[in-house]
A and B are shown apart, each in its own frame.
Chain A
Amino acid sequence: MNSPSTSRTDATTAGQTTLLTSHKGVDLHAATALLVMKDRLEGGHLLEGLFRCEMHSFWGGESGVSIARLLDVGRYFNPNKHHYGHFTLDGAEASWLDRTPAGNTLDPQWPGSAVGTDLETETMEQGRLYDLLLGGESAPGITPVDVVSFPLGQEGPVLSGVLWRLLIRGEADTALEAGRMLAVASGRKEGLLINPHMEAWLAASR
């Protein structure tokens, strides 16, 4: 097992800094949600896969909390269970804490450049780390739809939430709509992952 410090970058930036963690083994939340969505939700037949990262994000360099501390306190990262990726996005000055983005489009550049991981460092250099944390590259004919969700009313400085990747059969434009419908819980047969009455979310097809 790699030590979390082997390839960690403690530097902070003026933009947005994000820690993503994914499960090394089976992520029970994602596995259960996939079964429920496929079997019990309208549009579930379009869903080919579901992956999940826990997300912790902050803005503005030194005013935030360093990734090193997030890893060290152990609240966010358990080396027995998790892989992690540390990303920075330059120029992302506007914190999501300051607005309530319900259903808006996720910046296509998000979460930015990979600067640290417990996985092989080549994955950072090759720009594959983000996908690797979310189950790897998707098969032809499958569109990944990424949905970031987080509870409304968080005070910061760290914004914590969940990044879901829905693998939807179909092209990007239709997949994004299908993904939104499957993600946002509006009824017993409509949506599961987000309760819009307490969570904000951003979505994008990749």
Chain B
Amino acid sequence: MAFCDESFSPIDVGGYDDLSLATYLKEHGLTLAPSEARKVAELLGRDPTLTEMTLFDTMWSEHCSYKSSRPHLKAHLPTSGENVVVGPVEDAGIVDFGEIDGKRYGIIFAHESHNHPSQVMPVEGAATGIGGIVRDVYCMGGEVIATLDPLRFGWPDRESDSDDEAAHRVDIARQVVDGIWQYGNAIGVPNLGGDVYFHHSFNENCLVNVVAVGLVEQDHITHSAVPKEAAKEPYDLILVGKPTDWSGMGGAAFASATLDAEAATENKGSVQTPDPFLKRILSVANREVLAMARREKVTIGFKDLGAGGVSCVTSELADAGGFGCDVDVQLVHQIADLPARVCACSETQERYGLAVPARLTEAVLKIYNEDFALPSLYEGASARRIGKVTVDRQYILRWGDKILCQAPIETITEGIRYDREVELPARPDVAADERLPEAPGDRIADEWLALMSHPNVASREYIYRHYDPEVQAATILRPGEADAGVIAPVEGSRKAVALSADGNPLLGLADPWTAGAAAVLEACRNVACVGGEPAAITDCLNFGNPEIPASFGQFTEAVKGVGDACRQVGCYAKPGAPLPVISGNVSFYNQSSTGRSVAPSPIVAVVALIDDYTHCRSQRFKDAGDIILMVGSRLPEMQGSLYLDAGFQAGRPAVPALDFDAARCEIRGVIELVRAGVVSAAHDISDGGLAVCLSEMAMGQEAGSCHGADIRIPEGQAHLSVREFLFSEAGGFLVTLAADDLEQAVDILDTAGTDWWRLGEVTAEPGIEVATAAGESLFRLSVTDMTKAWQTGLPRLLGGSKAENAVPDPADNGDEAGHQDPASCAAAVNLQAKPRVAVVQLPGVNCEEESRRILKASGAEAEIFRWTRSPDELRVFDGFLIPGGFSYQDRVRAGAVAAKDPLLRVLLSAEAAGKPILGICNGCQVLVEAGLVPGIEPGAVEVALAANRYPGRRGYHSRWVGLEAVPGARTPFVEGLDGTFPLPIAHAEGRFTHEDPGFFSRLESDGLVALRYTGLGGRTDAAAGNPNGSLLHVAGLTNAAGNVLAMMPHPERAAQLRHVPEDLPHAWGRLRQAAAGDFNLLESAGPGSFLMRRLVELC
């Protein structure tokens, strides 16, 4: 039992010599050095208990205390600015987003790493990385609106004949992706990007960084501190979430030590266990608690539990408010028989700590435990009062009457500092005229084509198709569409946020200062391409062992580079002011026991503000005849480039100098171009140089149509060799625009003070023709060939030959015959009265809010109906929508448990009464398992929705697909739905199936198949026509009466034109393209509006 375990035992620190003390600490899973253990005793003035030593082990870890890095971060990084609402002092930073309809909003921004956990337990490690970072954002009082994942993996192919580890490295990459989608998709937060690099320096240490972005009304911001009001009235400390267990014990200490391959197995115990289902429930419940606090006009403290668990959250909450606290670990909900120190310090996931006025404690507990029924959803989960705030600045941790820890609170939280030795990296002198010998010029086209399938250039589609980019129905630009993800998070507003995360490990190896600075510049260039004005950054600094002077020197140089770039590029809205760093993280010890450390990897994420999302364009060429401009000079320096890393040779073997003044002008110039609405496509020049940039603009996404380009090397760049011109990674942009807009564009670029050149024109033919400055043709490359190489690169490496072969051939857009006429979907709803539609919120669904919003816009009085309400209250509604998500965590199987929920009895009655019911995605799975469709015998389970079947890949699949109503379908839901139309899918189990393959033919002839998948545009491959392997391409079923529609695609995510991807090879995509700049048109009906509106009409 806990009260007699060794948690309470004082450690006779003075009685041990250094060697035996080190042994004792190691035996107890502690990573404190003997000198640090003695320092603990010195601070306390007595021998510490094992619990106290465990607490200090966490608080003094590199991960928590920044004991090596803090002085350098403080010295180099600008952290303040007029637009900074909360700087890097809490769980996340907040930057001003401006005023919308009288409310002032902020964007919350946080950045973390979960590198060591992901190396030893990739699925769990990556998942808990997301879990931790979104908690950081939620506890600032906001909603999480996006995540990004910068990832670094080991080389995905055999490096030599004796390399037996390649399969393991691929396993890690695949499982990290699995962890990200399994967690990130379930919590209902769109993934808007990140970046992926493969390099042998990550063979033993992958890097998994995570960025989370939130939106908060500034009046609603909560802080990670006990409020000052606690001096006037009693405050309680509440712990809510998962029951405490062993998982994650020592996680922070583990993250702060060199990763030893032999210890990897034993360190698996330090990796936390994620539960996105519980996180989703907690997130919705937290919203209610915070709303209640606002209604009661009280201030609360709110902080997530991370490293150090209960002891860390309570001490930090109290200390940040200037208080002390008294916490009884015996009151902490836990799995049975945990030692007290585990209960106090375990990093069990999915927990929050709150400081609330004692008079509100019961009301808060009721919301969690009764209104959201935590104990019935997850065994042992609950909200409990575990202590109280005190005014004496003492930190007391007890087990009933027995004291585990008692100390002045600042002693606990203050941390320690080290002044590490620095050895700066050498910068070799390279003569100005020194050049690497080049291969014959006629090989350039081959080199270009080879680069397109290089692991660090090839399309990332194989990875990001696992992620859900569209949940919340606010996404404007998705991964793969542009250099930055864009989301317009406030309904009815033009304001949007652009996000990008960047960092180049090859530059890190070449020169850490340049890598730090270049990461800032590239992130800013990326958001500039969509018109985003950089407002703030976060950084995650991933390095080797700080105790090694050379490693620490790499770190200090990179920090300096980040800071220098922030000051030089500046805050867009406030010229002259630095771009503030509002949050961040340092990850050291990314080094294996063999001594190999990762490439110095400063990774920067930027948040940028967009006043009018309607001007955000995808990076692909739009129209033949558009003019291509190059902004920014190419340079001969090639060190740190992908071209050299790929084994080719050209240029001066030096790192390109960064010209901050030029970069600032270029970024501002491009932002102004986009804001003026003259840009049809923009893309930054980075990995692979101008060649790769040009290719990525010409290639169609998802085998959509390709364009081409005729370019000529400008006179002003003729001093460069062709390779230097094409493959230099000096920063810059390519932008395209209509000839009519050239004059205005020139004026903008000249006013901004940029160097720019007219490079050529977009062509309809899918080929890139390169000519010298004199006009002599050098070579012509097939865009179709490069598309194939680009799209098959990663599927081959990560999914094998099956995945490679499943990649469709590039295709023409095709004509629009058979496409739905978008105008036919724009009809206004004509309703006599507003019908009441219930959006049934089963526990774990995550699309309820946008479904309610779209139904309301479609004319319904829509209401979210929580599962804890009485089923009788559901009967009064006129119609029902069962939204997507992961009801009951997909326990047993997707939809199976929800199908037995008492609320489904009401839906069976409603079906019999002829009321309309629409089930989307997980809602479709529920209706199938409940026997509402096909409903030949109502209530009987007659078909199944099985795991997706797609060559060479498994798991979640999100993409836009073509659909059509099946002729003869006996449901009014699809009556009048003519032609093919596009919608997004996002699911892992969407394959309609039956053990008798002929069964669906009978369903179809009986009119019970309502919707089926079709190809999009010119695509005829199996994937386009059937993205999950459904029998007969079925996408939706109805019942005999036709008043139930169960469908896997998401109409609510396509209800407005702005939801449609610009590059979609469909009439809807072309309408979306033509609507650029037209807010009213973009906010009007999209291809999913028909079905949402029809639900309302049928009520």
Mark A residues whose CB is within 8 Å of B: 1, 3-5, 25-26, 28-29, 31-33, 36, 40-41, 72-75, 78-81, 100, 102, 151-153, 185-189, 191-193, 195-199
Contacts and interface: CB of A to CB of B under 8 A. Distances in A.
Contacts of A74: 120-124, 175, 268
Interface string B897-911: 101100011001000
A191 B888 CA distance: 17
Given A32-B891, A188-B904, A197 B995 contact: yes
Interface stretch (B90-98, B506-514, B547-555, B942-950): B942-950
A80 B892 contact: no
Contact of A197 (B168, B265, B378, B993): B993
14 contacts: A1-B266, A32-B897, A40-B900, A41-B900, A74-B120, A80-B273, A81-B273, A189-B939, A192-B900, A196-B995, A197-B941, A197-B993, A197-B994, A198-B946
Nearest 10 Cβ contacts at the A-B interface: A198-B944, A197-B944, A198-B946, A26-B379, A195-B944, A29-B891, A188-B939, A32-B891, A40-B900, A197-B994
Contact of A195 (B175, B266, B891, B941): B941
Nearest to A191: B941
Interface in B269-320: 269, 271-273
Nearest to B268: A79
A28 B175 contact: no
Given A74-B122, A75-B123, A186 B379 contact: no
A98 B994 CA distance: 18
B492 to A, nearest CB: 40
A78 B273 contact: yes
Contacts of B899: 188
Contact of B939 (A153, A187, A191): A187
Contact of B896 (A1, A80, A192): A192
Contacts of B245: 25
Given A3-B265, A74-B175, 10 more contacts: A25-B335, A33-B897, A74-B268, A75-B178, A78-B123, A79-B269, A80-B247, A152-B993, A197-B944, A197-B994
Contacts of B124: 74, 78, 80
Contact of A32 (B269, B335, B888, B943): B888
A187 B935 CA distance: 11
A79 B270 CA distance: 10
Nearest to A29: B891
Contact of A151 (B175, B908, B947): B947
A186 B941 contact: yes
A46 B995 CA distance: 29
A73 B900 CA distance: 36
B5 interface: no
Contacts of B380: 26
A108 B1007 CA distance: 46
A27 B801 CA distance: 37
A79 B271 CA distance: 10
B931 interface: yes
Given A3-B266, A4-B265, A153 B930 contact: no
Main secondary structure of the interface of A (DSSP, over half): loop
A198 B268 contact: no
A28 to B, nearest CB: 6
B935 to A, nearest CB: 12
Interface in B892-933: 892-893, 896-897, 899-900, 904-905, 908, 929-931
A31 to B, nearest CB: 6
Nearest to A74: B121
B246 interface: yes
Interface string B928-972: 011100000001111111110100000000000000000000000
Contacts of A25: 245, 335
Nearest to B937: A187
A127 to B, nearest CB: 27
A36 B908 CA distance: 18
B171 A73 contact: yes
Contacts of A196: 941, 995
B826 to A, nearest CB: 39
B889 interface: yes
Contacts of A26: 335, 379-380
A72 B171 CA distance: 10
Contacts of B900: 36, 40-41, 188, 192
Nearest to A32: B891
B946 A151 contact: yes
B949 A197 contact: no
Contacts of A81: 247, 273
A195 B929 contact: yes
Contact of B941 (A4, A151, A185): A185
Nearest to B995: A197
A49 to B, nearest CB: 14
A85 B625 CA distance: 66
A128 B900 CA distance: 35
A80 to B, nearest CB: 5
Contacts of A1: 266, 269
Given A78-B124, A186-B941, A33 B266 contact: no
Contacts of A187: 931, 939-941
A26 B334 CA distance: 12
Nearest to A79: B268
Nearest to A80: B247
A151 B946 CA distance: 8
A177 B246 CA distance: 40
Contact of A80 (B175, B246, B905): B246
Contact of B929 (A3, A32, A152, A185): A185
Interface centre among B893, B908, B944 (most CB of A within 10 A): B893
Contact of A198 (B247, B891, B905, B993): B993
A187 B939 CA distance: 5
B568 to A, nearest CB: 44
A119 to B, nearest CB: 16
A74 B271 CA distance: 12
A60 to B, nearest CB: 20
Given A32-B888, A32-B891, A197 B942 contact: yes
A97 to B, nearest CB: 15
Contacts of A188: 899-900, 904-905, 908, 930-931, 939
Nearest to B996: A197
Contacts of A199: 944
Nearest to A36: B900
B255 to A, nearest CB: 16
B636 to A, nearest CB: 45
Interface in B991-1024: 993-995
Contacts of B944: 195, 197-199
A7 to B, nearest CB: 14
B359 to A, nearest CB: 34
Contact of B995 (A152, A185, A192): A152
B45 to A, nearest CB: 35
A198 B115 CA distance: 38
A165 to B, nearest CB: 14
Contacts of B175: 73-75
Given A74-B122, A74-B123, A102 B995 contact: yes
Interface centre among A81, A187, A188 (most CB of B within 10 A): A188
A16 to B, nearest CB: 23
Contacts of A151: 946-947
A188 B378 CA distance: 23
A185 B247 contact: no
Contacts of B271: 80
A72 B897 CA distance: 32
A157 B1098 CA distance: 49
B897 A36 contact: yes
A173 B891 CA distance: 29
A27 to B, nearest CB: 9
Interface in B364-388: 378-380
A102 B996 CA distance: 13
B218 to A, nearest CB: 38
Given A1-B269, A74-B122, A28 B171 contact: no
